[in-house]
Amino acid sequence: MTKFLLLPVFAFSITSNATSWVRVAEDNIQTLYVDTDRLVKREKEVVYWTLINYKNNNISSVIKYKTVCNERKKIQLYFSYYNEPMGRGRIVSQDNWEKSYIPKPGSAKYKVMKFVCQQAN
């Protein structure tokens, strides 16, 4: 029971403490931001937080990723969806499962990954 109570509090603190959201990419569906204060480089990997504002339904998500820059691979570590833009409002859904994928070159998520890898060097 304690775990379930702490997770929403922790997730709320994730967005409220992030003061350095930098707009990195946009397409017709979403605008993507990266919290430049929380980029952490570990050997060949970079761990970072991204915020996505979805244009059609006025919701947002905050996602923690680990990227292996030389492999161009992203691993999603945590996500939360909010009922308002910029990671505000009520948490609609959240989870901390790992999902690995390679973003399509030229896509908004690829541009974010490229930005993060450049910032980490």
Nearest to residue 67, comparing CAs of 94, 99, 36? Answer: 99
Mean of the per-residue pLDDT values of the chain:
87
Alpha-carbon distance values, 119 to 8, 16, 56, 112 (Å): 30, 23, 30, 11
- The predicted-structure confidence for 73-120, as pLDDT tens digits, reads as follows 999 999 999 999 999 999 999 999 899 999 999 999 999 999 999 998
Q: What is the pLDDT of residue 18?
A: 56
CATH of domain 22-119: 2.40.128.710
- Break the chain into its structural domains and give their ranges: 22-119
What are phi and psi for residue 112, nearest 5 degrees? -65, -45
